[in-house]
Amino acid sequence: MFYLTKVFRVACGHRLHKHKGLCKNLHGHNLKIEVTVARDSLNENDMVIDFSDLKAEVNNILDGWDHAFFVNAKEEPSEILAHLERCGVRMISFAEDPTSEILCVYLFSQLKEPLRKKHGVDVISVAIWESDDSKTTFTGLM
């Protein structure tokens, strides 16, 4: 089995409305995202996947995340969130609080089919670093 990992970076903000601590407040992160893919044998170019092909697929999603604000779709709209939206702030809704865990699952699920169908690779894991010492990884295995 051959594995390949590429790192991406994106700036975004969120609020964890279920959180009891400081993360209930509006705040941002410069996320470091690691996407790992694999295949049993190398392709016709003797690669797992061309780094540029993986970059293009991941950036199809992350370009929409860049400098966006993530919200929980179940959260009661507040004056602040309504004001941000009126000001043109890019808002992305998730079914749950947009924790790094939820973002990992979302990105994994969005990449799984396109990468397999177009490039013959399987997504093994998606990891998101919120800071230099805090990382979440989703492997799709339960």
Note the pLDDT tens digit of each residue in 114-131. Answer: 999 999 999 999 999 999
Is 0.85 surpassed by the pTM of this model? yes
- pLDDT of amino acid 81: 73
What pLDDT was estimated at residue 136?
A: 97
Sequence-distant (≥ 6) Cβ neighbours of residue 23 within 8 angstroms? 15, 16
Instruction: Write down the pLDDT at residue 23.
Output: 77
Domains contained in the chain, number: 1
- pLDDT value at position 142? 54
Which range of residues forms the domain containing residue 57?
2-138
Q: Strand 68-72 to strand 27-39: parallel, antiparallel, or no bridges (unpaired)?
A: unpaired
Q: Give the pLDDT score at 15.
A: 84
pLDDT for 89: 83
pLDDT < 50: residue spans in the chain: none
Where does 40-97 show beta strands of DSSP type E?
A: 68-72, 91-94
What CATH code is carried by the domain that includes residue 86?
3.30.479.10
